[in-house]
Amino acid sequence: MSSSSGAARRGRPGPWPPAPPPQPQAQPLSWAKRTGFQSRVSGESVAIASASSSGQVSLPRPAEAPSDLESGPPARPNSALPPPPAATAANAETKPQQPPPPPARTRRRDSDGGRPNGQAAAAPLPQLLEEEDDVVPERPKYELRDSPGVFPIAVYGFQHYISMIGSIILIPLVMVPAMGGSPDDMAAVVSTVLLVSGMTTLLHTFCGTRLPLVQGPSFVYLAPALAIINSPEFFGLNHNNFKHIMKHLQGAIIIGGAFQVLLGYTGLMSLFLRLINPVVISPTVAAVGLSFFSYGFTKVGSCIEMGILQLLMVVMFALYLRKIKLFGYRVFLIYAVPLALGITWAIAFVLTATGVYSYRGCDANIPASNNVSAYCRKHVLRMKSCRVDTSHALRSSPWFRFPYPLQWGTPIFSWKMGLVMCVASVIASADSVGSYHASSLFVATRPPTAGVVSRGIGVEGISTVLAGLWGTGVGSATITENVHTIAVTKMGNRRAVGFGAIVLILLSFVGKVGAFIASIPDVLVAALLCFMWAMLCALGLSNLRYSANGSSRNSIVVGLALFLSLSVPSYFQQYRLQPNANSSVPTYFQPYIVASHGPIHTGSSGVNYILNTLLSLNMVIAFLVALILDNTVPGGRQERGLYVWSEAEVARRESAVMKDYGLPFKIGQAFRWVKCVGL
């Protein structure tokens, strides 16, 4: 270095030490370069060479460990900016620069948790927030065909069903009082729901898609059932109205289930799959949750302090305490609903025992209209809502009860009510399609084939027919919360789900179990339903992650479907509605009496009933608007997020796929000729 510096002095004398050669200054990165922003004139996503009309830039994702949905973001470097040029040059001298590897095609079971439709994973953008949950959940601890052992199967199966207990038991607690049923009737319906849910889950696990999906009463059927319950022909009933309305519901549910069986086993569902995409399913499922806003807080307000406490408890467990682990499990997140219910119910019991909700000379079991005292008429509703001893079901219920078919009597078939349930079964099928696809990305080797999806819908139709025969009040379908439960509990094993189904069947024979559930105070049920319906809405909108979220096309379609799903039914529900015309109907059930005053008037009363009822249901409007717009407005496959199902010929050549979806005990060999409902 001395010789070179001397030569420099001889050639060009100057000050010592000489000034270093000028180095290129690192230009500060703009916001666009830091975030990977690309300008768009029309608001649509820019297509790239490898993905036509997509809108998502497909770049290779760096290898990383499987992330956890609830564990928070992984450790990030202190600075998102590149190292200074000097450090870069020093590293280049010591280590030769390697050429960048070619972009690798991502596989469905990589650490990214399964990209939708086999698309390449997008490069992660810099994290602009200090603390944010990961958007990609890790795969379950036990997948579809794992054999963890008897004890883990029992533990995880129990955990799986307890985390979904709200979705299984809460619907009868809403419907039976609306039908005029007694607490004993409610206990019998709850036991029936447990039995049918266990039977249909086993049926779906063996003969349906074979995915670990719990079957049970679906919220999709709740709004049509309430519309049938509040039909004009039932207003004048004075006695035995519960059994009479239940028999009409049974007939309608059986008709809807039979239609769903035809939809699945004739192969029509395989054709219908071409029209069902995330942009259609998202607003439809979200509208199911939003449609019950008139019931939620209206019922909570009857005992405001206990209702608010119940709602705050479940929110605290599900959100604020969700990352806290006990014995390696997120207990508060997994058991948010039963924990919140147990604690609030215990507090209500203490307040009842200490006389907080006791009013001198008043009896909560005497209707307000029969009370002579104005003081008692004022407080009787509060007593019935806040006290925990108003239900005598637990005392009068037998220890053993065997729910049997046609226990309420012979079903009554009405074509107009049956057609309403047929439309509900179509929407329930669309909801199940989204659950099939999302759950298969977690637990299976590949997504199911179109034939397997059709087979699953056919089995759900059989399950709905069984629900109609036993008399649960609503149809049976894949519970939407399945995907959330699999992601939270890390259990995707069908053996565990089958074990839990057997436990449900055994519990249905214990009459005290159904009576205990039926004795939950109404205000606590309403508070839990506020949370359940909100989560159902969120789960519906989460399907949009399979499409291009930044696409203005998708945003307009979903936004318009959601808005019209609230506005159009509101027009039908309020058309020429006289506030005091049906005083016997509670205010939160007023939206379901539209069949008696709707705007559509034709020459047929049956046609009037069907059109006025269907167009007053939020989910029907959302489904129709999204279905028409998504299939007529131009858009690329990746932009729309089309579901891609496995090809039957390819699936038959892969033993892993055959083990995932093939029928057990070589049953499938007898039905190989039925190409549309299997592999």
Give start and end residues of each alpha helix (H) in 266-277.
268-272
What are the tens digits of pLDDT across the range 549-597? 788 899 999 999 999 999 999 998 888 776 654 455 666 677 778 777 7
C-alpha to C-alpha distance for 94 and 215, rounded to whole angstroms: 61
C-alpha to C-alpha distance for 657 and 650, rounded to whole angstroms: 9
What are the tens digits of pLDDT across the range 164-195? 888 888 899 889 988 888 888 999 999 999 99
Residue 99: asked if its preceding bond is cis (omega within 30°), the reply is: no
List, in order, residues 6 or more apart from 89 with CB less than 8 Å away: none
pLDDT, position 50: 38
C-alpha to C-alpha distance for 182 and 339, rounded to whole angstroms: 27
Residue whose pair of structure tokens reads 């959330």 in the numeric block: 484
Question: Which amino acid is residue 559, in one-letter code?
Answer: G
pLDDT, position 641: 85
C-alpha to C-alpha distance for 276 and 280, rounded to whole angstroms: 6
Residue 468: closest CA among 402, 403, 405? 405
Residue 484: closest CA among 73, 137, 67, 112? 137
Residue whose pair of structure tokens reads 């390696």 in the numeric block: 328
pLDDT, position 677: 67
pLDDT, position 193: 94
C-alpha to C-alpha distance for 248 and 241, rounded to whole angstroms: 11
Q: How many CB atoms lie within 10 A of CB 468?
A: 28
pLDDT, position 643: 85
- Residue 615 CA, chain-centre distance (Å), reads 23
C-alpha to C-alpha distance for 436 and 449, rounded to whole angstroms: 11
Residue boundaries of the structural domains of the chain: 150-230+243-669
pTM for the full predicted model: 0.77
**Regions of the chain short of the pLDDT cut 70:** 1-149, 238-239, 359-361, 363-379, 578-588, 668-679
